[in-house]
Structure 1
């Protein structure tokens, strides 16, 4: 029997995260482009300087409704016609609001980029904000809220934000608004928010993909370049302040068979030189199935299906007033809540006393750096990261330099960053579960004052 020759691996090629080309359209819109040969699905990310902090008092959620309404009809197409035109292009269009900006995302085959960009520009330039469409979006959002409150992970996240941040800071409240505030939103308030904050001079568009055969400068000029609007000064970003003195908040769910854990505080973001070491150290602590937390709580003790540690940028600013959420999350059986927390604290103490091993550091670097070329195989992944860099006021070569710094970070640096990320006397613990069962065992741990909320 004759077999086909086994394929052999080729020579490894050098890889670096792509650097974009940067320009500005005559209407003031900032444009970043990255030609990626072979990526025939083009990805576009548009950042609108309409942060959650800009929402009027009593209208939390208006940025979200505005973002969703951008594709619900324009001055040229009804909502149904606009959706049909997108479908004919084979394109997908979505939008969401976050603390730094409203993000609009488009993916489309390269052969239909001209039509899809024209539709995107139309949605940005002349959204209709028809009353009945806005009412429908508000009703949909109101329907979502009970489901979010019933989700232990979402409920824990809301409780942690409320605990960490002062009430006057937008971070303390749900990103998409509450039932009380969403009910106040109508077409007039959505349009007012749009007209106050959305204009080309404060907008950045990122376009990534294979531009072979496409006159991209001319195409962008004839679509996004037609959008006009007055000059604007970007809104100053609020300083991120928080209260992370050690305490425990139990969100009572009588009869719950599991407890949702969320342990967090605020810390260094990507503007801080410690970020690379922090990413590496936090990954070793709880970034994957082989991390220390999973090894103890999942493999050895069987308390959980998985526990994760993360560092998530909340709002990054070049003036150093931003920050990131440093958190540990997971769920355990109700009766295991006290023992699981005790063992989790012990894992962190052991890390501080003995440090990470060289093997843990090497595995983390391989997972974070070695697989980066696979992570960025699609145009959408590259566009999303470039948009993150803009949103977080980082230089265009930041991601490329980050991988170099991760590879150069030593075990001692990573250990110190992980220990500093989770000091045991500065952790806010949120538990969503049966307070009658878990409150006393948690008090006995002495990890902070315990309070119960409904």
Structure 2
């Protein structure tokens, strides 16, 4: 009897017969989902600010649960400072930092990182360049000294520069055969213009990277990698005084300098909707990028926009994903986002759609964008706000998470108190707020619609939708003459 019951239970778990009570009666099916408790207020750790005499700002967060420390050094300059015709310079500069530093060449540096069992990374984005470190408490002194070598004493070996540049050129060539990358590049250029930093790829182009020399990399580093242009975030198992002493020992001798401001003209949002095809012959799918210029991170509409976008395309159960994936089956996933930067970044709705349904998918995209401008039902509003409030704590689970959250405030200059204001900010959002920001920022008559796909098969159907005029562009957004 016991073996028979065991078999029935096992079969049930594998999707066979219903699970039985010991007496043989079937368990009742559950038809009511569990009730979620009200979101609890998130208690953030204390964040302490200090400034070294050379101008380096410190943000220190004590977390003593585990003997680890995460550090992020954020330079408040990124690819936006790439000179005209030199797109990709900031990212190449960041990539070169750990290719040899202090007395170590690239191989010796990699061996030291392995010996200390630390993680060290360097990268650049639009508005920042970052060096990150994860270390145990016992190896922190040595790890911080290594990090300081990478930031203050990179050797910029010619051999490694040649290799990195060759890898970059190969990657740029590969992008020309990838629909999503083609759509991303063309969309940015069409929304902001190629002359605007937001309209260029952070990796540059073949024309900008190929002639780039090592002296230009060194000059970018000398100009922008200065303590008075940087913030060091330290999170983990150390006291404020210990953190300040470590930072002083590692970076106290870093010389401050005059950092030129980065300026550029403000981009103009489109005045009408247009459809632009980036031709990828015989492509099995079409890469959609739909949007316009959005808002800067400092916008007063931040919280209503978070709620509105989460409902539209910011979660798996969003309207776009539900319609295009679950109901229609056109894609594996669809979504939307506001990239909020120091200045207004893009609003983008996106999906990779089976080619035969390109026109149908566009119709559904436009329906959902229009529908977002009508009042949001109370149950949907409550669900979205709960989703955001409950999920916010995920960003503070580890020392690395906390460091990233703090570092994310640096480029925009937002105060540390911003992190603790999220829960109350989302809780205050009303349906009227959501409708107001949707009406203001989601105008279906003023969009750039970029679709990278097989022009021969998708162009006639796109024109037949009569949603907007259709033309053909290359992956930089430039017009293409077609027969």
TM-score by length of 2: 0.86
Q: What SS does the corresponding residue of 2:332 show, helix, strand or coil?
A: coil
TM-aligned CA deviation for residue 380 of structure 1 = 1.3
Distance in 2 separating the partners of 1:168 and 1:348: 29
Segments of structure 1 that go 5 or more residues without pairing to the other structure are 1-9, 317-321
TM-aligned CA deviation for residue 212 of structure 1 = 5.8
Structure 1 match to 2:14: none
Distance in 2 separating the partners of 1:216 and 1:183: 42
Distance in 2 separating the partners of 1:123 and 1:154: 31
Distance in 2 separating the partners of 1:295 and 1:13: 28
Structure 1 match to 2:351: 330
Q: What RMSD over aligned residues (CA atoms) do the two structures have, in Å?
A: 2.2
* Stretch moving more, 26-35 or 233-242: 233-242
Say if 1:186 and 1:410 are closer, same or farther in 2 by CA, change over 3 A.
same
| Residue 379 of structure 1 pairs with residue 406 of structure 2 | no
Structure 1 match to 2:121: 94
* Stretch moving more, 126-135 or 207-216: 207-216
Structure 1 match to 2:320: 293
Say if 1:308 and 1:258 are closer, same or farther in 2 by CA, change over 3 A.
same
Structure 1 match to 2:188: 161
Alpha-carbon contact 2:330-2:357 (below 8 Å) kept: yes
Q: What SS does the corresponding residue of 1:260 show, helix, strand or coil?
A: strand
The size of the alignment, in residue pairs, is 438
TM-aligned CA deviation for residue 270 of structure 1 = 2.0
Say if 1:189 and 1:236 are closer, same or farther in 2 by CA, change over 3 A.
closer
Structure 2 match to 1:7: none
Alpha-carbon contact 1:158-1:173 (below 8 Å) kept: yes
Distance in 2 separating the partners of 1:53 and 1:324: 12
* Stretch moving more, 47-56 or 159-168: 47-56
Distance in 1 separating the partners of 2:415 and 2:284: 47
Structure 2 match to 1:309: 336
* Stretch moving more, 100-109 or 209-218: 209-218
Structure 2 match to 1:348: 369
| Residue 122 of structure 1 pairs with residue 149 of structure 2 | yes
Structure 1 match to 2:258: 232
Which digits, 9 at most, give the CA deviation of each residue in 1:341-363, with x for residues without a partner?
1122112223323x211221122
TM-aligned CA deviation for residue 129 of structure 1 = 0.5
Segments of structure 2 that go 5 or more residues without pairing to the other structure are 1-36, 475-483
Alpha-carbon contact 1:58-1:184 (below 8 Å) kept: no
Structure 2 match to 1:4: none
Which digits, 9 at most, give the CA deviation of each residue in 1:12-51, with x for residues without a partner?
9742344521111122211111112314332111112433
**Which of the residues 401, 407, 427 maps onto 2:447?**
427
TM-aligned CA deviation for residue 327 of structure 1 = 0.8
Say if 1:265 and 1:40 are closer, same or farther in 2 by CA, change over 3 A.
farther
| Residue 174 of structure 1 pairs with residue 230 of structure 2 | no
1:139-150 superposed matches below 5 A: 139-150=166-177
Distance in 1 separating the partners of 2:62 and 2:459: 56
1:15-414 superposed matches below 5 A: 15-211=42-238, 215-227=242-254, 229-233=255-259, 235-244=261-270, 245-313=272-340, 315-316=341-342, 322-353=343-374, 355-414=375-434
Larger radius of gyration, structure 1 or 2?
Answer: 2
Alpha-carbon contact 2:373-2:439 (below 8 Å) kept: yes
Alpha-carbon contact 2:74-2:231 (below 8 Å) kept: yes
Alpha-carbon contact 1:19-1:396 (below 8 Å) kept: no
Q: What SS does the corresponding residue of 1:371 show, helix, strand or coil?
A: helix
Which digits, 9 at most, give the CA deviation of each residue in 1:46-90, with x for residues without a partner?
112433232233322111111011111123211111111111221
Distance in 2 separating the partners of 1:398 and 1:240: 26
